[in-house]
Amino acid sequence: MSILKVARMGHPSLRRRARPLDPDEIRTPAVQQLIDDMMQTMAEYQGIGLAAPQVHEGVRLFVAGYEDEAAGDREHSPLKVLALINPEVEPMGKEVVEDWEGCLSIPEIRGRVPRARDVRVKAFDRDGLRIELKAHGYFARVLQHETDHLDGILFIDRMESLATLTFIEEYGRYWAKG
């Protein structure tokens, strides 16, 4: 496995719509290696999600971490990581929540972004099987953020106001305490 170079805001790969992976491609060694490398890269940079365009690969694939609700000790349980391929995200309900987001491609910056509180996602998993899952709250936000990357959209594009755009140091000093 390898740590991949993460594209930063301004790189053209972040602004292109990624191509869908053919289901026959999913189980190929190249795609499986990409998934493993993305998981390792996400962990290395302490991210919660990473989309293929962020590592210069123009395919509709992302990895995302989530808490295992079955684990008894949530505080000390490691995140599980899921690979989603060709995801289709659909809001469930009309409730939208504004909350803080950051991005490995926009290091050291945070901003408040409105997102659907609940979503349904249809995708392929890393074995090429069709899956459908429902997500709520923070995990729903992560899934929407990563899917946006597949469409060439950054979180700052979704912000209703740039007034909350802040460096992480100032976020910790002035915003996180509230």
Catalytic residue numbers?
A: 146
Which residues make Cβ contacts (< 8 Å) with residue 14, sequence separation at least 6?
7, 53, 54, 105, 149, 152, 154
Kindly list the distances between the CA atom of residue 65 and the CA atoms of 47, 96, 115, 174, in Å, as whole numbers in the listed order: 8, 22, 18, 27
Helix, strand or coil, per DSSP, at residue 101: strand
Q: Are 138 and 60 in contact (CB under 8 A)?
A: no
The first and second tokens of residue 121, run together, are 């996602």
